[in-house]
Amino acid sequence: MTILVTAFDPFGGESVNPAQLAVEALPDIIGGHTIIKAIIPTVFGQSADQVTALMDAHSPDAVVCIGQAGGRDAITPERVAINIMDAKRPDNAGMIPEDVPIVPDGPAAYFSTLPVKAMVSAITAAGIPARLSNTAGTFVCNQLLYRCLHHAATRMPDCRCGFIHVPYIPEQTSEKPDMFAMALEDIVKGLTAAMAAIE
């Protein structure tokens, strides 16, 4: 099995993105699965354009997109993506869409086609905090998940897609003492367990 794993670059004034660092540190083979890695911009439209192009180029069996969710205290596979872009802050290109559909006339939502509960169980079994999330927000992360699922549904029905959010890492919380942080090596361990749970 081939799994395309993507991560966003730093955004929101941060100098690092734990998603990017973790994906770069993932092994190239996990549980017998070949891992293809890509770092993409935190930009509406561009991010999804790049990932869907990679889907077409590599024909992966699964796509797992990774993003940062500062403030969460666990690794959180996402259950659903909704057809809306509604940003409270600009993306890395300065765009702040408000109440804009991701795909005009597209379905209201798509459910992840990855085994999200099995992934949560695998991460937890590896000793890393994890839980299922029912909201990927309305920023670039949700847009990417929706576009990947839409692309798969309309053009690559055998490709499964999903998204995982990861917490801050300690270097990001030195001036945010009330925020949870997870060691980068634990994020890598948790993501590795999640990839191995995809069958």
Residues with a known catalytic role: 78, 141, 165
How far apart, in Å, do the first and last CA atoms of the chain sit?
8
User: Concatenated DSSP letters for 127-179?
Assistant: T--B--BS---SSHHHHHHHHHHHHHHHH-TT-EEEEEEE-B-GGG-TT-TTS
Angle at 152 between CA 8 and CA 23, to 5 degrees: 25
Quick one: how far is CA 65 from the chain centroid? 3
Which DSSP category does 30 fall into?
Answer: E
Neighbouring residues of 198: CB distance < 8 A, sequence distance ≥ 6: 1, 3, 31, 33, 62, 64, 114, 115, 119, 160
Beta bridge partners of 130: 75
> How far apart (Å, rounded) are the C-alpha atoms in residues 91 and 95?
5
Tokens 């083979």 -> residue:
29
Q: How far apart are CA 5 and CA 21, in angstroms?
A: 12
